[in-house]
């Protein structure tokens, strides 16, 4: 019996190490899949789903080997998840097929699904640091590679002129990657004891900040500014350090002001008829109409696949006609279906949450999204490691939230991996620090 328990113990730790390396591999594949598929000339649409299920199988395999196979999640979070799931079922019932409902459910709640499965096992402090450092290396390499591609293919990094098609699916992903990378870099800068190495982390955070600003990515730049302010707000002890942490803020401000295109956009946000800025118009109208739809379909919303979501794009939703959006540039029935015709139907996250889940579902979604970051504030103390982990969790979630106000970052598997899975492991480690 003792020998059997010893074997299970050894197997459990071996599998723990395997899961860490598998998560790192999964993260690498999720971020570099576009590059791989471009090189191979392939288009594997089910890849993200396969990676997701592979992660889930690994997590539950470890639970079974540890003889700890039971559903573990905080009670309040579980009931919130149950409530929003019931709302999605009731609002979508009879409107779409089961397969469409399941795929919509998966994409809409992907971050919460990652959080749920991440809660089933403990990685431990050491393994979490390995995952964070590996993530830092992957994202740093990813961002540097995209910079070289932009300069080689177009000779510029201005958003409207540059070409980044082999590394990223969309150029706006540069900003989303930079948000996560700045959070990781500043965390590692605080945690690292080696002087020469720790300033390398700071250098990478400057690089990500400057690259995002120089590209003219407004939302991502604002999100990164918030992360820097959060950083010096939490850790600054005196004015000299405060000024030091403000260097990147001044740096990004100078770049923004020197970029005439970006400055023009900031000073002319009311120019709705200019086709050059049609993306801003479409996103604004989608958000306005989503509140109207939530009000008209009170209290459960219009259901999955009806507005500003993937299925509503594939099968052009009648709501676009009902709410006079079918003639707006980028929201037309043919938008995105022919070469040279841009589509903004899937350019933003929150309108589809508000419209499809209603005001009640939207409220629950927001509570679930910020549930663990806010709880980390109450767990945190003056203890060094707790403050650092709390900063990392808050900066990642709030940064991605700001970026999602005009994008779909939250529903992309690679970013949902970070804020859903890695974020929960940070929270669980934070709770276990004495």
- pLDDT: which is higher, 264 or 177: 177
Q: What is the spatial distance between Cα 118 and Cα 425, in angstroms, rounded to a whole number?
A: 7
pLDDT at 249: 61
pLDDT at 240: 59
**Residues 94, 98, 101: CA angle, nearest 5 degrees:** 85
Q: What is the pLDDT of residues 373-393, one digit of tens each?
A: 888 877 765 555 678 888 999
pLDDT at 267: 45
pLDDT at 88: 92
Tell whether the model's pLDDT for residue 303 goes beyond 80. Answer: yes
pLDDT at 6: 46
Please give the share of the chain, as a percent, with pLDDT higher than 90. Answer: 17
Q: What is the pLDDT of residues 403-432, one digit of tens each?
A: 888 777 888 888 888 888 888 888 888 877
Tell whether the model's pLDDT for residue 187 goes beyond 60. Answer: yes
pLDDT at 277: 47
End-to-end Cα distance, the chain: 33
Mean of pLDDT values over 98-116: 89
* 260: CB partners within 8 A, 6+ apart: none
Residue 387 near residue 234, CB atoms below 8 Å: yes
- pLDDT: which is higher, 182 or 336: 182
Please state, rounded to an integer, the average pLDDT across all residues of the chain: 78
Tell whether the model's pLDDT for residue 47 goes beyond 90. Answer: no
pLDDT band at residue 295, thresholds of 50, 70 and 90? very high
Burial degree of 74 (CB within 10 A; 0-12, 13-18, 19+): middle
Q: What is the spatial distance between Cα 216 and Cα 45, in angstroms, rounded to a whole number?
A: 30
Q: Could you give the residue ranges of the DSSP H alpha helices within 41-124?
A: 47-65, 75-92, 98-108, 110-118
């Amino acid at each position: 019996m003792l020998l059997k328990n010893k074997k299970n113990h050894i197997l459990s730790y071996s599998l723990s190490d395997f899961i860490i390396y598998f998560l790192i591999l999964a993260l690498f594949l999720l971020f570099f899949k576009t590059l791989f598929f471009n090189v191979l000339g392939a288009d594997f649409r089910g890849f993200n789903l396969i990676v997701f299920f592979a992660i889930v199988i690994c997590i539950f395999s470890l639970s079974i080997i540890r003889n700890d196979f039971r559903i573990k999640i905080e009670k309040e979070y579980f009931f919130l998840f149950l409530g929003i799931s019931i709302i999605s079922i009731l609002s979508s019932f009879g409107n779409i097929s089961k397969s469409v409902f399941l795929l919509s459910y998966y994409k809409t709640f992907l971050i919460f699904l990652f959080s749920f499965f991440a809660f089933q096992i403990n990685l431990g402090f050491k393994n979490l640091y390995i995952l964070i450092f590996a993530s830092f290396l992957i994202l740093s390499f990813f961002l540097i590679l995209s910079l070289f591609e932009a300069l080689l293919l177009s000779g510029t990094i201005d958003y409207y002129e540059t070409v980044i098609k082999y590394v990223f699916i969309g150029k706006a992903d540069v900003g989303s990657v930079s948000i996560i990378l700045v959070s990781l870099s500043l965390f590692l800068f605080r945690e690292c004891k080696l002087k020469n190495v720790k300033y390398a982390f700071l250098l990478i955070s400057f690089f990500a900040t400057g690259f995002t600003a120089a590209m003219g990515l407004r939302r991502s730049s604002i999100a990164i500014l918030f992360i820097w302010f959060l950083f010096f707000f939490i850790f600054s002890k005196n004015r000299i350090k405060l000024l030091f942490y403000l260097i990147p803020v001044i740096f990004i401000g100078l770049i923004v002001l020197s970029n005439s295109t970006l400055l023009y956009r900031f000073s002319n946000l009311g120019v709705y008829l200019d086709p050059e800025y049609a993306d801003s118009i479409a996103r604004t109208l989608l958000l306005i109409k989503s509140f109207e739809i939530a009000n008209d379909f009170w209290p459960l919303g219009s259901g999955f696949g009806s507005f500003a979501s993937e299925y509503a794009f594939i099968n052009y939703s009648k709501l676009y006609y009902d709410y006079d959006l079918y003639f707006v540039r980028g929201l037309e029935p043919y938008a995105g279906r022919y070469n040279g015709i841009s589509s903004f139907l899937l350019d933003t996250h929150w309108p589809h949450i508000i419209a499809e889940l209603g005001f009640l579902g939207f409220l629950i979604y927001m509570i679930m999204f910020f549930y663990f970051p806010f709880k980390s504030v109450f767990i945190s103390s003056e203890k060094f490691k707790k403050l650092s982990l709390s900063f990392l969790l808050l900066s990642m979630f709030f940064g991605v939230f700001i970026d999602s106000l005009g994008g779909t970052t939250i529903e992309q598997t690679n970013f949902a991996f970070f804020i859903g899975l890695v974020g929960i492991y940070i929270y669980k480690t934070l709770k276990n620090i004495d």
